[in-house]
Amino acid sequence: MHEIRWHGRGGQGAVTSSKILAAAAYRSGFEGVTAAPTFGAERRGAPVTASTRFDHAPIRMYSQVVEPNVVVVLDESLLAVANATAGLRPGGVIIVNTTRSRGELGLPDTIRVVTSDVTGAAESVGLIVGGEPMVNTAILGSIAKATGLITMESIGAAISDAFPPAAAAKNIQAAQIAFDCTAAGGLP
């Protein structure tokens, strides 16, 4: 089973992207998929998490992911406050929206770190909401490239199901740009 934990800030769309990733996983051939938000007293800008699971067998677990094999960080400042690497399985990967290098992030050498300028991808296509770049769908391209688990075709179809055509086109374009600027590698 593949377990992904999302770290974002309220209003960034971590919950939406966890659902879109689950839909894309289903379209990529995974039969069991779940997406679950974590809600508390969050407000815009406060740290939030969400979870996505997918497998080739039915999933009967709906709790939050605590031992992910993939961690997605929508805002690099969360690395300092959200303990994003907690529980990350050996051989797991953390995907960080940043322009900084791995060394600058101060992450342990024992985990695989993938960085991508997802904010730049969103900005380049004008994917701006309320004055802020929307990185949640763009980072789906980085996930596809970094893990090799989901196809870009599946991500595009899942985004098209989630948004009206004009908005979907921008989101798909941003995801493709993020895909293109993310280092490949795949999970072991």
* Domain ranges within the chain, ordered by starting residue: 2-180
pLDDT higher than threshold 70 for residue 78: yes
178, 127 contact by CB (below 8 A): no
Q: Write down the pLDDT at residue 42.
A: 59
Class level of CATH domain 2-180: alpha beta
pTM here?
A: 0.93
Q: Which residue has the tokens 């990733």?
A: 21
Given this model, what pLDDT does residue 81 score? 83
Lowest mean pLDDT among 90-99, 103-112, 160-169: 103-112
Q: Is 167 exposed, middle or buried (0-12, 13-18, 19+ CB in 10 A)?
A: middle
